[in-house]
Amino acid sequence: MKKLLIATCVAAAAVMSAGPVAANDELLVMEQNPADWVSPTGNYANHRYSGLAQINADNVGDLKVDWTFSTGVLRGHEGAPLVIGNMMYVHTPFPNKVYALDMDQDGAIVWRYEPKQDPDTIPVMCCDTVNRGLAYGDGKLFLHQADTTVVALNPATGEVVWKVQNGDAKIGETGTSAVMVVKDKIIVGISGGEFGVRGSITAYNMKDGSLAWRGYSMGPDSDTLMDPEKTTHLGTPVGADSGTNTWEGDQWKIGGGTTWGWYSYDPELDLIYYGTGNPSTWNPTQRPGDNRWSMTIFARNPDTGMAKWVYQMTPHDEWDFDGVNEMILAELEIGGKMRKTLVHFDRNGFGYTLDRETGELLVAEKFDPAVNWATHVDMKTGRPQVVDRYSTRHQGEDVNTTNICPAALGTKDQQPAAFSPKTKLFYVPTNHVCMDYEPFRVSYTAGQPYVGATLAMYPAPGGTHMGNFIAWDATEGKIVWSNPERFSVWSGALATAGDIVFYGTLEGHLKAVDATSGQELYSFKTPSGIIGNVMTFMHGGKQKIAVLSGIGGWAGIGLAAGLTEPSDGLGAVGGYAALSNYTALGGQLTVFTLP
C-alpha cells in the first residue's frame, strides 16, 4: 500500500498548493496520470482514452498474456478494474465481491470484501446480475451493491467506512451502476424500470454517506428539481408541472425512467450529465402522452441537483429504447466554431451531438443504417419522426409489430464508447439487431415485473452478423469505418495515444484495431465472452491492457441464467441462442503486455 499512499499524497499536495481543495480536485489530478486508471470510464468526460503509447500499431500484434485472475463468480462481468499505484481493485457481479490485488507481489490478494446480500435480489435484476464497477475519491472506494446498498471502503484494508441504502429491492429497485465522485459528493442512480419503479439520481455526502439531494426523473417540480422558468428544453423553459402533465393521472409514480448508466461531469460548467431510461410499462397504450422526463438527457448542478436543461430523445417510447447510455464530453469544431459538446449514442439508433452548456441540438443522425422506426429527428422540435409501420402503439395491444430496427436492446446499450482527442473520432460498440414487438395489458404489483410486451430478436436485414464496431464523426453525424462482428459488441471500447483501439467480443476475443482505418491488428480469445470494458495502465515500466471476461448481460442472459425459451430474457435468449456454440460461463481478468 505504500505506493498507493504516496501517489495519493502527491496528488493531494499538488492541488492544495493551488488553493482550496474540494474532494474531486484530487481525482482531477490523478486522472492526468495515464499510468493509473482511477475512475470507471477513465475521466470525468467519459473519454475512455489513455495517453499511454508504449503499445502501438507497430507492436500490438506482439501482445501476450501477462497474468490472469479468477473472480470466483459465474455471471456477466461488466465494468473494469481500477488501478491506483501498485494496487488493482477488481469487482464482480452479484454478490459484488471486491478484491484488492498487490501487483508488486504477483497479484497477491491484500483483502477481499464479500457482502452478504439477500438472494431474493437476483430475480428482480432485469438483465443479469451485473455491476459496472468501483469508484475512488477522498481516500475511499465506493461500491453500489445489487441490493442498492452504497458502501464506502477503506482502500488499504477493505473495511467499511460507511454504508447507506439507496433503494428497496422488494419493490424492484436494484443497483447495477458505478457511482461517480463529484466534489464532496458521490452520484448514484437506480435500476428497475421493468418493475415500475420511479427513476432517480441521488447525491450522498462523501464524508459520511448522508443524503445531499435526490432528483427524480418524473413527478412534481419539487421532485424533479426543476425551475419551471429556468430549466429549459431546447432553449424553451419547461414550464410548471412538466414532470407530471404528460402522464395520465398518477402513472408517473410508477413511471420508470431509471438511471443505471454512466455519468459525466464538466468542472468548468459545474454540471453533471446522465440519461434516463424507458417509461413503464413497455405497453405504450397504457401510458398515453410524452411521458416526460423518461428517455431524457439531464444537465444538473452537482451541489443542489437543480436541472439546468433537459432533452427528451424519444417521447412516449414505444420500443424500450432506454436513454441511459454515456454522455461523452468533447470540444469539437462544428460549423466553423469550437463548441463544448456532449455526444450520446442512444439506444434508439441516433447519435446526438449537443451543446453541453445550453442543451442546443447540433447533430442527430443514425449510427446504423438499419434503423427504421423513425426517418429522422426534427432539428427544431428535437422529435424523432416515427414511421407508422413500426409504431407499436398504432398497431395496438396484442398485435405483433415485426421487423423493427433496432431491437429493444438498442443500436448500442450501456457498453461505453471511446473518444480519441488525436483522431477526433468516437469508437462505438454496436448491436445490429431487429425485433418483433407485441404489447399486452399488464397490471402493476410492487416487486413484480411490469413489462407488458413479448419480444423476438434477430439479425438486421442484409446479413447474419449482429454487431458492428464503428468509428463515428460526431461533427457531421456519419460513420467513418465499420467492422462487422458475428454477435453484438457488448464490451466498452478503449482508445490510446498509440493510435489503436481495443474492444471485446461476445465470443471472448480481445481485439485491437487501427484508430484511423479500423484494420484489425490483434485478436486473442479469452476464456469467456467479453462484456467488460477494456482498460490500460502502467506497472513495472510496461503498459498493460486488462479486460474482464464472463459472458452475461442482456445479450448473454441465456447462458448466464440458464434460460432456454426463445422469449426469455425479454427476447434475447432466442436472438443469441448461437452464443453457446462459441463460449461458456466464466469470471476472469486477463492482463496483457508486450514481451
Residues annotated catalytic, as ranges: 320
Give me the residues paired with residue 364 across strands.
352
Cell of 574: 432466442
For residues 493 and 417, the answer to whether their CB atoms sit within 8 Å is yes
d(CA 344, CA 517): 22
CA dist., res. 327 & res. 533, Å (int): 16
196 contacts 172 by C-beta, under 8 angstroms: yes
- 340: cell is 463544448
The CA distance from 88 to 577, in Å, is: 35
Angle at 145 between CA 140 and CA 149, to 5 degrees: 80
503's torsion region: left (phi>0), alpha (psi -120 to 50) or beta?
Answer: beta
What is the grid cell recorded at 230? 429556468
All residues at 6 or more sequence positions from 312 whose CB lies less than 8 Å from its CB, including other chains: 233, 290, 292, 293, 294, 295, 296, 382
C-alpha–C-alpha distance, residues 332 and 335, integer Å: 10
Cα–Cα distance for residue pair 31/265, rounded to 1 Å:
13
**DSSP string of 198-220?**
BPEEEEEETTT--EEEEEESSSS
Q: Where are the alpha helices (DSSP H) in 378-520?
A: 392-395
**H/E stretch holding 581:** none
187 close to 201: Cβ distance less than 8 angstroms: yes
What is the sign of the dihedral through the CA atoms of 490, 35, 158 and 110? positive
Sign of CA dihedral 551, 557, 558, 561: positive
Cα(505)–Cα(31) distance, rounded to whole angstroms? 27
Q: Which residues, other chains included, contact 366 with Cβ-Cβ below 8 Å and sequence gap of 6+?
A: 349, 350, 351, 411
Cβ atoms 554, 413 nearer than 8 A? yes
C-alpha cell, 264: 459525466
Q: What residues have CB less than 8 Å from 359, skipping those under 6 apart?
A: 232, 233, 234, 235, 297, 299, 308, 309, 310, 311
Best CA proximity match to 241, nearest among 257, 264, 219: 219
* Other CB atoms within 10 A of residue 414 CB: 27
Task: Label residue 18 exposed, middle or buried (CB < 10 Å: 0-12, 13-18, 19+).
Answer: exposed
